[in-house]
A and B are shown apart, each in its own frame.
Chain A
Amino acid sequence: MTDIRKVAVIGAGVMGAGIAAHVANAGVPVVLLDILPKEGDNRNAIAEGAIERMLKADPAPFMNRAAAKLVTPGNTEDHLDLLKDCDWIVEAVIERLDIKQALYQKIDKLRKKGSVVSSNTSTIPLADLTRGLGEGFARDFLITHFFNPPRYMRLLEIVQGDKTAPAAVDAIAAFADHKLGKSVVMCKDSPGFIANRLGVFWLQAAVVEAFAAGLDVEEADAIIGRPMGIPKTGVFGLLDLVGLDLMPHVNASMAASLPKDDPFHALNKPLPLIERLIRDGYTGRKGKGGFYRLNREMGKRKEALDLVSGQYRAQRKAEVDAIADSGRSLARLLSHDSKHGRYAWQVMGPTLAYAAARAGEVTDNIADIDEAMRLGYNWKFGPFELIDQLGSQWFADRLAREGMAVPAILKLAAGRPFYRIDKGERQVMGLDGNYHTIRRPDGVLMLEDIKRRSEPLLKNGSAAVWDIGDGVVCFEFTSKMNSLDSDTMALFMKAIALVKKSYKAMVVYNEGNHFSAGANLGLAAFAANIAAWGEIENLVGGGQSTYMALRYAPFPVVSAPSGMALGGGCEILLASDAVQAHAETYTGLVEVGVGLIPGWGGCKEMLHRWATLGNLPKGPMPAVAKAFEIISVATVAKSAAEAKDYLFMRPSDGITMNRYRLLADAKAKALDLARDYKPPEPPTFNLPGPSGRVALDMAVQGFHRQGKATDYDLVVLGELAEVLSGGDTDVLTTMTEADVLELERTRFMNLVHNEGSLDRITHMLETGKPLRN
């Protein structure tokens, strides 16, 4: 199998540049080429401009600035020879067969033997792309269809031709899996592959039916959204996001390539209102607005487009009784006797039927259809999982009753579900009508599977402990949003005793969207509102002693975060022996945003890390200043790589690109550390005391004068400065961890007594945004 050590991407548009950036994120050098610009002297202007834009973009295509240095920009006139030593060449140029084929001709002459060429096309069949090119090219050619944005969308659709060599497919699939962190779905060479084939149908159905039913866009998005596990942007919100102008193009190319009897044609009618919007520049969020917009002339009024009149009006909350009336039952929603219930069916009935009818056409594996919709459109459940929620018999009967064709796979199911659990194994129905166990790729360990097969070793309302084999336990947060409370701490203490007695190591890991957004603020705010100060002090002190117990336990503790690890969720990383983080981990000590300071050892650990690992000038002040700089503005590292820049992670901590491989990597790391494990030596601190505090205060006052710090920031940052400078100490006094923790605790308590902090917490709980009081 070819080892991919260098990559080239041709075409520096949004997709090509994003793919190149993501290859760089994996630490692999990449060449990014585009054509010569129409004007100007810089012949590399297009590729260089793309890199510059990406460095400013949010969400960022690069995981940190260092990654950008791995991208070499160039142009297709001067630099094609750079392809010579590339193992994989990705073509992401304009969707025109003649241009692509001409490019392939050139590439084929230069590329090294055994290198793989792939196209990021989303519309052109592979058979057409390779027509007329040599056997050798066809053997090394495949389609790699990324989703936008390539860093964040975890789906990669791969299409191979009849002639493609298995080794070429394996090499790219393995690279995409391990290095790019993608979930690879193998598709047949059919139009739109899987996700877009279904997604475009679904969007079109939802738009057409909303017009037909005269619904508000808010109503449509409320229905075709949360109740189905579809992101709350729903349909119209999603179109605003991707751009309305894309819709006619995608629909036209889909219509051109689909067979004449495909049900999509019936839906693909012109929508004059949308055409007008595009003409007038209302292309969505990137344009003057779309179905929703923020009207700045009317004091930032949120507006929505009336689908009947075509005029904007104030956005209104959708009142959909059908949702409340159905509880959580999708079947009840789809049969609700109201215009909303009928709309739900008119969209989802045909969409799910269309998906079911594609089994065998787009892939033989229906689990891959579900995976493609989950990862390509962020649906929580794939279409077959949704049909299982409805009941396959219920769905088949309903289709028959509505006079719609019942897809073959539904007839085959004959009332059975598409998925079932058999002896702890998840199985999926094949095209043969039998159930087949879903096998994870080698080296993938999922807690979800372990939980299906076993009982927890320990468990309470906020956490659970699982045996994940080889003497390692997994500590899982199970509370709402994985927030941390006194129950979490209590179970940690029990787990420590258990591992001490019978196991080798502990991994802190879970499979929620976010590792943990920190302490349960609602609980803390409520306790503060009822003046239960003792309870809050116990929560802070209890958390501190728990994290200290983890740090000095006689076995290694490895934290394996993915998604957000903020506040108390970040402090647990700081208290661990090592971290194995998913690349998409967002870490930060964000307490000041809610008027608090890190109270579970976060201040202490940042002081210690910057003093020992920071490569800072000598003296007590630099580490204090650095920790203050990071915590005082609630800095969030927007990738695991960036977390290392802030020392939220140590240089020696590991990063896993593929979410599915995180637990296995963390477990391996824990076992590695368990050999000859010795707990760390407790650090000591020599802090500057009042002189340091003065320096920090002056800086804060400067920010206040410039309007960058609010009045209440002065209070919060004053307490933070007091902790980080060591309180009433001087540089000759050696402080222990306990001393710094006590400072954290008392200063935290000062703040929690303050109405300003409670206002910030309440505001965050209710709006999700920080209050700048």
Chain B
Amino acid sequence: MANYKAPLRDMRFALYELNAGDELATLPGYEDFTRDLIDPVLDEAAKICEEVLHPLNRSGDEEGCHWDNGVVRTPKGFKDAYTLFREGGWTSIACDPAYGGQGMPKAVNVLMEEMICSANLSFGMYPGLSHGAYVALHGYGSDALKAAYLPKMVDGTWSGTMCLTEPHCGTDLGLLRSKAVPNGDGSYKISGTKIFISAGEHDLTENIIHLVLAKLPDAPKGVKGISLFLVPKFLPRDDGTPGERNGVTCASIEHKMGIKASATCVLNFDEARGWLVGEPHKGMRAMFAMMNTERLSVGVQGLGLAEASYQGAVAYARERLQGRSLSGTKYPDKPADPLLVHPDIRRMLLTQRALVEGSRALSVWAATALDRSKHHPDARERERAEDFIAVITPVVKALLTDFGFDVTNLGVQVFGGHGYIREHGMEQYVRDARIAQIYEGTNGIQALDLVGRKMPAHAGRYLRQLFHPISAYIEKTIDKDGMTEFVEPLAKVFGRLQQATAQVARTGMARPDEAGAAATDYLRLMGFTVLAYLWARMAEVSLPRLEKDDPDGFYKAKVMTARFFMERLLPQATAHFQAVMAGGKTMMAFEDAAF
């Protein structure tokens, strides 16, 4: 099985050199987070991911979770690993110090999330979901609820879930049927069936805190009538220890394509006692509040798996000897040349590398914006950051999870038949990556969110925070020494993105189907443009270091990867551009009966 080494060098590049990570400490509340503090944390995170979590990845996949009469057991080793994880303080790292958290900036946290996802995505689901519940409760819960539940969720003795989906409704939450009836004492009776609940039942923590969407008796129709409730598995006693068992049971767990060590549960709520989080009927607000961070996290799942797959593929391409180089033998002392010499293998590896490093740069960029949106002292700067997040979130989620699947697939391809068998773990990455394109809003929904909600809002105001920096950057850099080869293709794709944006906005306004038909290709076009911008910037940062300051060849590899991206990957953007401009007439005119 492939080893995993956290790509700390590139992570520090993305954080400090590309996205001005040192400036984080200038934001109020982040004063302590200087490089001296961040670097050791990253080193420690790498250690637990490499040494504790990654070794359980394949065994967890082979064994899966066990359901027995409502009790769920995680695979061997998970419970001990979780105890180490919890005791190391990793559940509290990104949480509010007021509840025992460490208040780490998102820009740092996103790197740790990537490591966890590379090492063992299934394991990461448990603390990941818990953190989602933490964010919603922290943002919208009453002080009493927060005081009662957050400290234990932060220190990891309790975990949390998000219960949205029901058998008949996933994307369209307006169809929700779960009910909440007031008990008269401030609590509610929650009844209904929830499915696909990750970490819904397990043996890692002493209590599980479910956040459940349900409807009150007087609820308005549709999504405007959904409320959010906190329903603990065990009702806490006055001393805070878990007491009486609440009316929530795990009816079964799903048998899935991937993330098999993550328990995906059917939960039955039978007059379970719960408490309202936030205002009645305003449950979707809390969902939206956590959505930006959650979607970034899911995007990072794609990135993490892609990184792990790339590492496996490179190692294998170095070791595995097959055939001779087309341009003549390279390693005459060996029975055959390593795979690495073959152009098509290099194409696959560089594609993986360019997408992985570009995605990492993007994930840190988005995360720093999240930090600015919460911590910047100037309200105007916070608003700008929020606008940027509004646009970039669907792009990060969809692009990075699509890349996650594409890149892990390439990893299998590099291994050939050995990638297809389970022994090397390469096919597991593909299976694990597949779900990220689906949950937390399918990638189709992300594209619709981008063209239908984000693009037209405030006459395109959100777009400004993406388009203006890129436009200004092109203007500033196009004639800079050595940069033309990177900025020219960027300028070209940016022009196409502008043209496509104008077209989608115009036609979409009159005919929503046109916007819907363009959405996925448009999101891809924007994604490639953003990566082109980031790769141009990465080249710009690296170029001055090439001659004098590049002992390990890191910057040279960066510039070469940037060049590869511009030459070999960016042309895909043209295809997406043409698809957008072709419009949706034909697909909409196709007879329903003819499918």
Report whether A531 and B498 are in contact in the complex, using a CB–CB cutoff of 8 Å: yes
Q: Which of B537-578 contact A (CB under 8 A)?
A: none
Report whether B471 and A526 are in contact in the complex, using a CB–CB cutoff of 8 Å: no
List A contacts of B501 (CB < 8 A): 530
B324 at the A interface (CB under 8 A): no
Bound-state Cα–Cα, A522 to B458, Å: 9
Binds B, one of A416-424, A695-703, A760-768: A760-768
Q: Which of A716-772 contact B (CB under 8 A)?
A: 755, 758, 761-762, 765-766
Report whether A766 and B458 are in contact in the complex, using a CB–CB cutoff of 8 Å: yes
A170 at the B interface (CB under 8 A): no
Bound-state Cα–Cα, A47 to B220, Å: 57
List A contacts of B471 (CB < 8 A): 531, 533
> Smallest Cβ distance from A83 to chain B, in angstroms?
59
User: Interface digits, B237-267 against A, CB 8 Å rule (1 contact, 0 not)?
Assistant: 0000000000000000000000000000000
Bound-state Cα–Cα, A535 to B460, Å: 15
A253 at the B interface (CB under 8 A): no
User: Interface digits, B168-187 against A, CB 8 Å rule (1 contact, 0 not)?
Assistant: 00000000000000000000
**Which residue in B224, B464, B470 is a CB contact (below 8 Å) of A529?**
B464
Report whether A762 and B463 are in contact in the complex, using a CB–CB cutoff of 8 Å: no
Q: Which of B490-514 contact A (CB under 8 A)?
A: 498, 501-502, 505
Report whether B220 and A529 are in contact in the complex, using a CB–CB cutoff of 8 Å: no
Question: If the complex has contacts A321-B221, A531-B468, are A762 and B498 also in contact, measured as CB distance less than 8 A?
Answer: no
> Smallest Cβ distance from B577 to chain A, in angstroms?
15
B285 at the A interface (CB under 8 A): no
Q: Which of A532-547 contact B (CB under 8 A)?
A: 532-533, 535
**Interface residues of A, dominant DSSP:** helix
Bound-state Cα–Cα, A758 to B380, Å: 14
Question: If the complex has contacts A527-B502, A535-B502, are A762 and B468 also in contact, measured as CB distance less than 8 A?
Answer: no
A3 at the B interface (CB under 8 A): no
List A contacts of B459 (CB < 8 A): 521-522, 525-526, 529, 761-762, 765-766
Most buried by A among B221, B458, B501: B458
> Smallest Cβ distance from A315 to chain B, in angstroms?
18
Report whether A529 and B460 are in contact in the complex, using a CB–CB cutoff of 8 Å: yes
Report whether B498 and A530 are in contact in the complex, using a CB–CB cutoff of 8 Å: yes
List A contacts of B460 (CB < 8 A): 525-526, 529-530
List A contacts of B220 (CB < 8 A): 319
List B contacts of A528 (CB < 8 A): 464
Most buried by B among A319, A522, A529, A532: A529
Q: Which of B464-483 contact A (CB under 8 A)?
A: 464, 467-468, 470-471
> Smallest Cβ distance from A325 to chain B, in angstroms?
11
Bound-state Cα–Cα, A761 to B464, Å: 14
Bound-state Cα–Cα, A522 to B463, Å: 14
List A contacts of B431 (CB < 8 A): none
> Smallest Cβ distance from A7 to chain B, in angstroms?
50
B461 at the A interface (CB under 8 A): yes
Report whether A529 and B502 are in contact in the complex, using a CB–CB cutoff of 8 Å: no
Bound-state Cα–Cα, A526 to B217, Å: 43
Q: How many A-B residue pairs have CB under 8 A?
A: 47
Question: If the complex has contacts A321-B221, A758-B464, are A530 and B458 also in contact, measured as CB distance less than 8 A?
Answer: no
> Smallest Cβ distance from B259 to chain A, in angstroms?
38
> Smallest Cβ distance from A615 to chain B, in angstroms?
42
Question: If the complex has contacts A319-B220, A535-B502, are A530 and B461 also in contact, measured as CB distance less than 8 A?
Answer: no
Q: Which of A502-538 contact B (CB under 8 A)?
A: 521-522, 525-533, 535
Question: If the complex has contacts A319-B220, A321-B221, are A762 and B461 also in contact, measured as CB distance less than 8 A?
Answer: yes
The total of chain A residues at the interface (CB under 8 A) is: 20
In this complex, what residue of B is CB-closest to A533?
A: B471
List B contacts of A761 (CB < 8 A): 459
> Smallest Cβ distance from A219 to chain B, in angstroms?
13
Bound-state Cα–Cα, A765 to B458, Å: 8
List B contacts of A527 (CB < 8 A): 502
Bound-state Cα–Cα, A154 to B389, Å: 52
List A contacts of B461 (CB < 8 A): 529, 758, 762
> Smallest Cβ distance from B59 to chain A, in angstroms?
50
> Smallest Cβ distance from A197 to chain B, in angstroms?
40
In this complex, what residue of B is CB-closest to A759?
A: B461
> Smallest Cβ distance from A760 to chain B, in angstroms?
12
Bound-state Cα–Cα, A319 to B225, Å: 12
In this complex, what residue of B is CB-closest to A531?
A: B471
In this complex, what residue of B is CB-closest to A753?
A: B468
Report whether B221 and A530 are in contact in the complex, using a CB–CB cutoff of 8 Å: no
Bound-state Cα–Cα, A755 to B458, Å: 13
List A contacts of B505 (CB < 8 A): 526
List B contacts of A321 (CB < 8 A): 221
List A contacts of B498 (CB < 8 A): 530-532
In this complex, what residue of B is CB-closest to A461?
A: B510
> Smallest Cβ distance from A324 to chain B, in angstroms?
10
In this complex, what residue of B is CB-closest to A321?
A: B221
> Smallest Cβ distance from B464 to chain A, in angstroms?
4
List B contacts of A533 (CB < 8 A): 471
Bound-state Cα–Cα, A522 to B505, Å: 11
In this complex, what residue of B is CB-closest to A526?
A: B460
List A contacts of B221 (CB < 8 A): 321
Q: Which of B214-229 contact A (CB under 8 A)?
A: 220-221, 224
Bound-state Cα–Cα, A761 to B505, Å: 18
In this complex, what residue of A is CB-closest to B469?
A: A531
> Smallest Cβ distance from A528 to chain B, in angstroms?
8
Bound-state Cα–Cα, A762 to B383, Å: 15
**Which residue in A522, A531, A755, A766 is a CB contact (below 8 Å) of B467?**
A531
In this complex, what residue of A is CB-closest to B499?
A: A532
> Smallest Cβ distance from B458 to chain A, in angstroms?
5
> Smallest Cβ distance from B329 to chain A, in angstroms?
52
List B contacts of A755 (CB < 8 A): 464
Most buried by A among B221, B458, B459: B459
Bound-state Cα–Cα, A527 to B499, Å: 10
Bound-state Cα–Cα, A31 to B505, Å: 59
Report whether B502 and A526 are in contact in the complex, using a CB–CB cutoff of 8 Å: yes
> Smallest Cβ distance from B559 to chain A, in angstroms?
27
List B contacts of A765 (CB < 8 A): 459
User: Interface digits, B434-462 against A, CB 8 Å rule (1 contact, 0 not)?
Assistant: 00000000000000000000000011110
Bound-state Cα–Cα, A201 to B129, Å: 61
List A contacts of B463 (CB < 8 A): 529-530
Bound-state Cα–Cα, A530 to B461, Å: 9
List A contacts of B458 (CB < 8 A): 762, 766
> Smallest Cβ distance from B390 to chain A, in angstroms?
13
List A contacts of B502 (CB < 8 A): 526-527, 530, 532, 535
List B contacts of A758 (CB < 8 A): 461, 464
Bound-state Cα–Cα, A758 to B224, Å: 32
Bound-state Cα–Cα, A319 to B224, Å: 10
User: Interface digits, A599-616 against B, CB 8 Å rule (1 contact, 0 not)?
Assistant: 000000000000000000
Bound-state Cα–Cα, A458 to B69, Å: 76
In this complex, what residue of A is CB-closest to B464?
A: A529
Bound-state Cα–Cα, A762 to B460, Å: 9
Bound-state Cα–Cα, A55 to B378, Å: 46
In this complex, what residue of B is CB-closest to A755?
A: B464
> Smallest Cβ distance from B499 to chain A, in angstroms?
8
List A contacts of B468 (CB < 8 A): 529, 531
> Smallest Cβ distance from B299 to chain A, in angstroms?
23
> Smallest Cβ distance from B384 to chain A, in angstroms?
9
Q: Which 9 A-B pairs have the closest CB atoms?
A: A531-B471, A529-B460, A525-B459, A526-B460, A529-B464, A531-B467, A530-B467, A529-B463, A530-B501
Chain A residues proximal to chain B, CB less than 8 Å: 319, 321, 521-522, 525-533, 535, 755, 758, 761-762, 765-766
Question: Known contacts A529-B468, A762-B461; can you find 12 more A-B pairs with CB under 8 A?
Answer: A319-B220, A526-B505, A529-B459, A529-B461, A529-B467, A530-B463, A530-B464, A531-B464, A755-B464, A758-B464, A762-B458, A762-B459
What are 21 A-to-B residue pairs whose CB atoms are below 8 Å?
A319-B220, A319-B224, A321-B221, A525-B460, A526-B459, A526-B502, A527-B502, A529-B460, A529-B461, A529-B463, A530-B460, A530-B464, A530-B502, A531-B464, A531-B467, A531-B470, A531-B471, A531-B498, A762-B459, A765-B459, A766-B459
